[in-house]
Structure 1
Amino acid sequence: MVRIFKFLLLLALIAFVGLVGYAYLGDMTPERSDVTVPVDLNVDD
């Protein structure tokens, strides 16, 4: 039973290190683009 807990702890540690590595090394920059949308205010004078 202790062997299973050690394996799960090791698996969780490997997953955490992989997640941190992806967060620092992965390309997560957003794609930028200009958006122009006309606005109709429906103002009655």
Structure 2
Amino acid sequence: MRLIKVLAVLIVAGVIGLIGYAYLGDMEPVRQEVRSPVAIGGAGD
């Protein structure tokens, strides 16, 4: 019974830590401009 309580506390602490890191951690996406040519089909294609 004691092992189950310890395991439950560790799981709850892990979930709280993960949520805290998600909100407070440096998780901003790296932005970069992407350009790629687009072929537009004409009457001869």
TM-score range, shorter chain: 0.7 to 0.9
Q: Percent identity?
A: 43
Work out whether 1:43 is the aligned partner of 2:36.
Answer: no
Normalised by the length of structure 2, the TM-score is: 0.80
Q: What code does the residue aligned with 1:42 have?
A: G
Written as runs of structure 1 = structure 2, the 5 A alignment for 1:1-45 is 2-45=1-44
- Report the Cα offset of residue 40 of structure 1: 1.0
- Report the Cα offset of residue 28 of structure 1: 0.9
The number of equivalent residue pairs is: 44
Runs of 4+ in 1 over 4 A off after TM superposition: none
Q: Which runs of 5+ in 2 are unaligned?
A: none
Q: Which runs of 5+ in 1 are unaligned?
A: none
Normalised by the length of structure 1, the TM-score is: 0.80
